[in-house]
Amino acid sequence: MIALVMFLLLMVGKNFGMSANLRTMCTICGADRSSDFFRFDWKAQRWNLVVVLGAIIGGFLGSYYLSTETVVDINPQVVENLSSLGFESAGKAYLPTELFANSVLTDWKSLAVLAIGGLLVGFGARYAGGCTSGHAISGLSDLQVPSLIAVIGFFIGGLVMIHFIFPYIF
Amino acid sequence: MRTIIYFLIGIIFGIRMFKSEAASWFRIYEMFQFKAFHTYGIIGSALVVGVVIVQLIKKFQIKSFYGESIIFHPKARSTPRYLFGGIIFGLGWALAGACPGPMFTLVGARYPSILVVIVFAILGTFIYGLLRKVLPH
């Protein structure tokens, strides 16, 4: 299915890459006044923003109309492991309520986790020139070495976070 | 007309991200714990099909629906940029449990708190734009 999305975008003359939208959004917010990096014709990227809009609607359709049960059935060992870190919602929800319930909007620690996570994703994606869609799917499908390096980087970062940094945070 | 096509492609993507649970924080955590094949299956199967598609397009010089050539842009060669950028991205991906596609899907799935991640991801992109000249590429 994801390959279908990439294929359809190629067939309409575009490239599959979601994080480029974050740059476009910076420019729309006026970032072109601060750095050359944001001085580009963002209107040429409007098609990608439409894909984002579709992805939002798709999330709504998927969760509201196409799902009766959204609990994610993860490995029981992972449930146990997460419980020991204080994630009681493991195995009982789609997203951990400890990080994503509306009540966390007043909890500084959860907010900090979301904010720092977002910052790293945005910064890293642009530094690496792409994210999971641009590198792991589009780039690797084209057998590009830079994308392989980036994906190896994604995994080093992810593994370090989960195995070495999580115990200090949670 | 083209706008509608992009919109529909986005919808397919959004539904797939939600229903495959690739947008679930738990699945990302589980993936980095190597405790399930689930997410590897999603990325891996997309990749196998993707490689075949790209090779076929190149081999037979398949044209787009509009009759134009399909161009693949080779990424500039570099190691530090992809490695350091990738590591930073990976740290954030594991922490927030969402990458730049699924984070939008989660807005539609009615998780308002994901907006915090999105706003800061935009801010992170902005900070990169400011620091770009002093970073090794």
Residue type, B26: F
- Angle between the A46-60 and A20-28 helix axes, to the nearest 10 degrees? 110
- Establish if A73 belongs to a structural domain: no
Q: Who contacts B4 (Cβ-Cβ below 8 Å, separation ≥6)?
A: none
Q: Which of B83, B89, B109 sits opposite A63 (nearest CB)?
A: B109
A11–B64: do the CB atoms touch at under 8 Å?
Answer: yes
- Establish if A9 belongs to a structural domain: yes
Strand, helix or coil for residue B92:
helix
pLDDT tens digits along B6-64: 999 999 999 999 999 999 999 999 999 999 999 999 999 999 999 999 999 999 999 99
Using an 8 Å CB-CB cutoff, list chain A residues near B49. Answer: 3-4
Q: What whole-number distance in Å separates Cα of residue A48 and Cα of residue A12? A: 12
Co-location of A109 and A164 in the same domain: yes
- Establish if A90 belongs to a structural domain: no
- Establish if A84 belongs to a structural domain: no
Match 């996570």 to its residue by tokens: A117
Question: Is the CB of A24 inside 8 Å of chain B's CB atoms?
Answer: no
Residue A113 near residue B88, CB atoms below 8 Å:
no
What percentage of chain B exceeds 70 in pLDDT? 100
Q: What whole-number distance in Å separates Cα of residue B28 and Cα of residue A96? A: 12
Using an 8 Å CB-CB cutoff, list chain A residues near B29. Answer: 74, 78, 82, 162
For position B13, what pLDDT does the model report?
A: 97
Using an 8 Å CB-CB cutoff, list chain A residues near B31. Answer: 158
Averaged in consecutive runs of 10 residues, what is the pLDDT profile of chain A (170 residues)? 94 96 97 96 97 98 94 96 95 96 90 98 97 95 97 98 94
- Asked if residue B1 has pLDDT above 90, the reply is no
Show the domain range for A47. 1-68
DSSP string, A82-129: HHHTT-TTTTTSSS-HHHHSGGGGG-HHHHHHHHHHHHHHHHHHHHTT
Co-location of A106 and A167 in the same domain: yes
Q: State how far residue B35 is from chain A, nearest Cα, in angstroms.
A: 7
Which value, to the nearest 10 degrees, does the dihedral of the CA atoms of residues B60, B65, B70, B75 take? -130
* 116-135 in chain A: CB under 8 A from chain B: 116-133, 135
- Establish if A143 belongs to a structural domain: yes
- Establish if A95 belongs to a structural domain: no
Q: How many domains does chain A have?
A: 2
